[in-house]
Amino acid sequence: MTTNKTYPRLTIRRRLRRFLCDRTFWSLLLATGLLGTLTGLRNSQRQGLHPRQYDRIKAGWHHCADVVLIGDSRVMCGLSPAAMASQLPGLRILNYGLAGQGLCPEVLDKIEQLLDPQSQRKTIVLGLSPALLRGGIGGIGGEKPKGPQSATDAPAHQRIVRQWFEPLVESLDTMSIQQILQVTFGRTKKRYSLKIYHADGWMETSLVPENRSRALSHYIKRFSDIAVRDGRLLKLLTDRIRRWHSRGIRLYAFRPPTTAKMVALENTLGGFNQDAAVAALTAAGGIWLPVDQTGYHSYDGSHLRYDAARKLSADLAEQIRRAEEAGSR
């Protein structure tokens, strides 16, 4: 058997000296200081909510809205409930757009649960982008629905640790080199993407410099793989619209505007047949809102810039208000 070593006792002075010469200690101390400074500076300049807080708020919505805006990232970035409120006063509007969202029964159930059962004007506004009908995430036969999860799948001990340390993780959010330079030296960034998360579900976005064909390659790849499965997903949607209609829930649908190139791509490679979709939705009781497909500014060929998003929101709200007024007459 091996014998244990014995170490000589150190005096306090020698211990202190040894401690002060410890490179591990100094590295960890410097790293903590550096992290604290950078994140402190960044967090003091942050606009809007933290992304995780935004996700948590969205996941927590339940029976709390009169109007729910649904769709994929084009709705999430393209519709501001605050901008709609001016045309639809007194209504609680929430944006439940989710990036990469597809249609599936679970998602449609969740949307229904967002509406306040006591509301007299239960309304769903659907941004029917072709990618929504493509299947994939949340689609029939696709992956599990994506979206703000409350992390209930994780075991309890993991959830508890996550909850305790959520504020720490949020404060240590990632930064790009440009961001670090900006918060450190106040240097204005030449290239950046703006993302401001609002409590009503809107994500205010922009890109500098703009690249209006950036999203095209992603969509070419996606549509090459799976084109729009209008038939199956449209049926799922129209069946649900009929049910909503019978329960007094109004459904307005529109095609989120983007660039001319993207519209052409979606209609050809994507296989999206807008006329057929409109006919099916209106037959089921939905109301189609025509939107100028290229009349709003997109910064990346897919999503709308924040000012265009506000304009679209106001325009849509006005159309909804007129439709409601016409309906009540």
Partner 1 sequence: MQFNSVAFLLFAALFFAGWPLMRLGRSRRWFYLTAASFLFYGWWDWRFLMLITASGLIDFAAGLLMARLPRLKKVFLVASILGNVGSLAVFKYLDFLIINVNAIGGLLGGTWRIPATELILPIGISFYTFQSMSYTIDIYRGKLQPTRNVLHFFAYLSMFPQLVAGPIVRAADLLPQLAKQRRAGEAQRWAGLRLIAYGFFKKVVVADTIAPVVREALSGQTPLESCGYWWIVMALFAYQIYCDFSGYSDIARGLGKWMGYEFPVNFNHPYIADSFQEFWRRWHISLSTWFRDYVYIPLGGSRHGRFFAHGNMWLTMLISGLWHGAAWTFVIWAAGHAMMLSLERMTGWPKRLCARPLGRHLATLLVFVLTTILWVFFVSRSFSQAVAILTTMFNFSKLSTGWGGLISSKAINLTLLMMARQLYFHFGLDRLRWPAARPVARLIGPVGLAVLIAACVLMRGPGSTFIYFQF
Site string for partner 1, 290-329 (x = CB under 8 A): ----------------------------------------
Residue 10 contacts partner 1 per CB under 8 A:
no
Q: Which is nearer to partner 1, 31 or 264 (CB)?
A: 31
Tell me whether strands 123-127 and 203-208 are parallel, antiparallel or unpaired. unpaired
Which alpha helices (DSSP H) does 133-248 contain, by range? Answer: 156-171, 177-185, 216-225, 230-246
Q: Which is nearer to partner 1, 169 or 283 (CB)?
A: 169
Q: Which is nearer to partner 1, 95 or 259 (CB)?
A: 259
d(CA 133, CA 127): 11
DSSP SS3 for 215: coil
Neighbours of 194 (CB within 10 A): 14
In whole angstroms, how close is the CB of 298 to partner 1 at the nearest point? 14
Site string for partner 1, 202-241 (x = CB under 8 A): ---------x-xxxxxx-xxx-xxx---------------
> Is the Cβ–Cβ distance between 76 and 197 less than 8 Å?
no
67: left (phi over 0), alpha (psi -120 to 50) or beta: beta
Residue found by looking up tokens 């007459």 in the block = 329
Residue 44 contacts partner 1 per CB under 8 A:
no
Q: Which is nearer to partner 1, 171 or 294 (CB)?
A: 171
Residue 35 contacts partner 1 per CB under 8 A:
yes
Q: Using CB under 8 A, which of 10, 14, 16, 28 touches partner 1?
A: 28
Residue 30 contacts partner 1 per CB under 8 A:
yes
Beta bridge partners of 49: 197
Q: Name the residue among 229, 22, 253 with its Cα closest to residue 131.
A: 229
Long-range own/partner contacts, residues 307-310 (CB < 8 A, 24 or more apart): 308/78, 309/77, 309/78, 309/79, 309/80, 309/83, 309/202, 309/204, 309/205, 310/80, 310/83
In whole angstroms, how close is the CB of 313 to partner 1 at the nearest point? 27
Q: Which stretch binds partner 1 (CB under 8 A): 69-77, 78-86, 113-121, 168-176?
A: 168-176
Q: Using CB under 8 A, which of 12, 20, 21, 326 touches partner 1?
A: 21
Beta bridge partners of 127: 254
Q: Which stretch binds partner 1 (CB under 8 A): 21-29, 49-57, 62-70, 125-133?
A: 21-29
Residue 41 contacts partner 1 per CB under 8 A:
no
Q: Using CB under 8 A, which of 118, 152, 174, 328 touches partner 1?
A: 174
- What sign does the CA torsion over 10, 14, 16, 22 have? negative
User: Which residues of this protein are in contact with partner 1, per CB under 8 A?
Assistant: 1-2, 4-5, 7, 18, 21-24, 26-31, 33-35, 38-39, 155, 157-158, 161-162, 165, 168-169, 172, 174-177, 180, 211, 213-218, 220-222, 224-226
